[in-house]
Structure 1
Amino acid sequence: MTALVCGNVLLTVVLLATFFVTWRLTRQVRRLFREVAPAGALTGSKGPQPGDTCPSGPFRLLNGAAFSPADGREATLLLFVSATCPVSRKIIPIAQDFCRKERVDLIFAGDDASEVQQRFAQQSGVKADHFVNDSVIGRVLEVDKLPAAFLLSSEGVILSRGLVNSREHLESLLNAWESGFTTVQDYITHRKQQKIQTV
């Protein structure tokens, strides 16, 4: 009988110790998440920045129609991709799913030869009326690395921009716009300044 009581007491102590360790660990993980900076799309200093107006075009779509960033749509994600870029192939289905769930229009852009672009769009499951095939827009926006993304307002104003190769990068473009910070880097700088002021 005594052994049974001792066993129950020992089990209770171990259980309470487990609860305490779990509680401490949860607090540490929460603190770690507050300290770790979010992984955002890398924003370059070249070319038009958030707040600037995207060139109005019109630019040629693969189906021969014209596309203008300031055509009164909802927010539009303009994603520059290429048939020769393996990361572009990876990001296309991710961007399609992301924009469908976030209710953001998605327009792809590139400047390959028309036949190459048509084949690439078919292989990637992109409709011809959602693919800009025009070298001018890339030059004006100074796109030098792929895949590059620009989140545009219905008036064609750049809300956020950056290089994207994951869903988290795409989310960071929306987060930057919704939070009022043009980039995640601005958010990190703001957090550091807040810490300095509170010290």
Structure 2
Amino acid sequence: MTELIVAQGTLWLLLVTVAMTMLLLLWRIREFYRHVAPLGALTPAQPSVSHLERHTFIASDGSCCTIGGIRPDGQRQLLLFISGTCPVSKKMIPVTRSFCDRENISLIFVTDDTAEGEQKLVRTLDIDSGHLINNTETGRMLAVDRVPFAVLLKQSGDVEARGLVNNREHLESLLTVTETGYESIQSFLAAHPHALAS
């Protein structure tokens, strides 16, 4: 009988210890998330232009595709720079399409692939070929050195926000940049180091 009581007491002691350890872990994880900044769209380099003039390009289907400049429809425009050899780019195509549909943003895909790679993109990833242009100069002007890279343009053609994106949260951070008035999430956190503490 004594052995049973000791065994049961030991089990209860272990149970309480495990419960206390779990509570401590939860508290530490909460503190960790309060101190770690959410990663927004990363802006690795500054572009040579802050305004994109109106340019008309020949899209993959042979039609005319216009980017930049004042948009008569009043929509913002998102340029998503992608590559057919980049798996993250392939993942971001449907995510970005859904995001732009929800936010009422005009979406243009930009690539610098070969003609064969461009056609493969259209076929395998179900991209509207009327919204895909093959151009390197625009990427150079906007300091795009890695993909997938998103550039959000205002209705006037001014660069509103830009950065590397690999999930929906990164795309949404471009809109957050617009709301805060800072050019990137990183610059906002640098100016407000205690923003996450609240």
Q: Same fold (TM over 0.5)?
A: yes
Aligned residue number for residue 56 of structure 1 = 54
Give the RMSD, CA atoms, in angstroms: 2.7
Normalised TM-score (structure 2): 0.75
Q: Does 1:66 align with 2:47?
A: no
Aligned residue number for residue 47 of structure 1 = 47
Q: Structure 1 residues 70-79 or 181-190, which shifts more?
A: 70-79
Cα deviations across residues 56-78 of structure 1 (Å, max 9, x unaligned)? 32222212313132233411110
- Whole-Å Cα distance in 1 between the matches of residues 109 and 125 of structure 2? 11
**CA drift at 1:112:** 1.5
1:1-199 superposed matches below 5 A: 34-48=34-48, 52-63=50-61, 64-70=63-69, 71-72=71-72, 73-192=74-193
**CA drift at 1:35:** 3.9
Unaligned runs of 5+ in 1: 1-17
Give the match's secondary structure for 1:192: coil
The answer to whether the 8 A contact 1:67-1:132 is kept is: no
**CA drift at 1:184:** 0.4
Normalised TM-score (structure 1): 0.75
Unaligned runs of 5+ in 2: 1-18
- Whole-Å Cα distance in 1 between the matches of residues 167 and 88 of structure 2? 9
Give the match's secondary structure for 2:108: strand
Q: Structure 1 residues 61-70 or 173-182, which shifts more?
A: 61-70
The answer to whether the 8 A contact 2:146-2:164 is kept is: yes
- Whole-Å Cα distance in 2 between the matches of residues 113 and 59 of structure 1? 16
Residue 43 of structure 2 aligns with an amino acid whose one-letter code is T
Q: What percent of counterpart residues are identical?
A: 36
Q: Report which of the two has the higher share of helix.
A: 1
The answer to whether the 8 A contact 1:61-1:129 is kept is: yes
Cα deviations across residues 111-157 of structure 1 (Å, max 9, x unaligned)? 22233212212211110111122222122223111111101011111
- Whole-Å Cα distance in 1 between the matches of residues 29 and 182 of structure 2? 26
